[in-house]
Structure 1
């Protein structure tokens, strides 16, 4: 059985969403970020990213990680590509060309989108969005993302999804990264095709189930 290590309020949300889309059974091990624990190594501390039990799974001490029939993977977006490839179905590539395209969009999400989008959401998470430094960070990252939004908007002209005219792992991976930029309403207003695409992704029952669980989880 697939095991997903990580709380829903983390990048593990991507893997929980994917498992639900695939309809496969999975075990959740709610590893919490060590920064959220007063003493991560205390005997009564919840399992966290500094716990020896988790470091045996991922020595880097980062979530999520997955274990599937002895295969251990520790990069959230790559985890989803693996799950799509193994379990098949409409989210997976139909041929080598689609596999290449799905990998390309996923790498683009990781290298061109997330570095900027994650800075925005972390600024809000730390309550720094109204500080001088916070405003500067958000402005700088939003400016960088304008080019990203423009590229995606161009690709979506005349199509609803990224690859093969259907929702795939590429859409899921990219949507989870673009979710970090949802506070930047001006970008979504400027690029309505991107806004419509993200809304389609978020209308999926598996996303709603994942998000309901995420919102019910403690934010402390």
Structure 2
């Protein structure tokens, strides 16, 4: 038995890595970068024929389980390795499970593309290759989903809950924050949505995520 995660922290693989770290799981990380051909070997393609990281392999008594797609990997880790009793990030109720599912899918469909554009054209790409006009347009589009999240967080606050699905940090926060973290370089945009900004800071300041950021800087 054992859990293996293929990928690096400076990629979408941060999602299952973060989930496993939050749960204090023992797991093997196979450092597999998305550049340089590591995901195009026959061995890797046997795990994920799409040739993308992350890939998660869970060796269980009833047989190995292989999962790809970063959100699916993170949700799987929480659901099948968390306690599910309200003491960790695993969903403890049908409502919490629903929130994790809907905000994870929402993050991918409504925010990820534009958040990544902000990251790349504000800070990640070499300055000479950045196109500020693309970042400007992405930030303008992000106002729509961020307004939706701001309203949701206000409703949660009225219920006495500080996070997306509950009072405690859950996999719903993890999946959503892993996407919106890319939009943080848009400081003016973040200032427009103070509840989102404060919630995002709480998520990203967690020790497990900070440790992964430090790992990402080394590779």
TM-score bracket for the superposition, by shorter chain length:
0.7 to 0.9
- Which residue of 1 is the match for residue 22 of structure 2? 21
- TM-score, structure 1 as length reference: 0.88
> How far, CA to CA, are the matches of 2:17 and 2:163 in structure 1?
21
In structure 1, the gaps of 5 or more residues are 41-47
Q: Could you tell me how far apart the structure 2 residues matched to 1:96 and 1:160 are?
A: 19
The answer for the alignment partner of 2:126 in structure 1 is: 127
Matches within 5 A, 1:82-93: 82-89=76-83, 90-93=88-91
Aligned to 1:76: 70
CA-atom RMSD in angstroms: 1.5
Q: Does 1:139 align with 2:136?
A: yes
Provide the aligned length of Structure 1 versus Structure 2: 204
Give unmatched runs, 5+ long, in structure 2. none
> Quick check: 1:184 aligned with 2:186?
yes
Post-superposition shift, 1:129? Answer: 7.3
Q: 1:169 aligns with which of 168, 171, 182?
A: 171
Give 3-state SS (helix, strand or coil) of 1:166's partner: coil
Instruction: Tell me the residue number matched to 2:116.
Output: 118
| Contact preservation (8 Å) 1:5, 1:65 | yes
Match of residue 206 from structure 1: 208
Aligned to 1:17, the other structure's residue is in SS state helix
Q: SS at the partner of 1:207?
A: helix
Map of 1:11 onto structure 2:
12
Aligned to 1:150: 147
* CA shift digits 1:25-50 (9 cap, x unpaired): 1101111123xx3xx3xxxxxxx111
Deviation, structure 1 residue 130? 6.9
Q: What TM-score results when the alignment is normalised by the length of structure 2?
A: 0.88
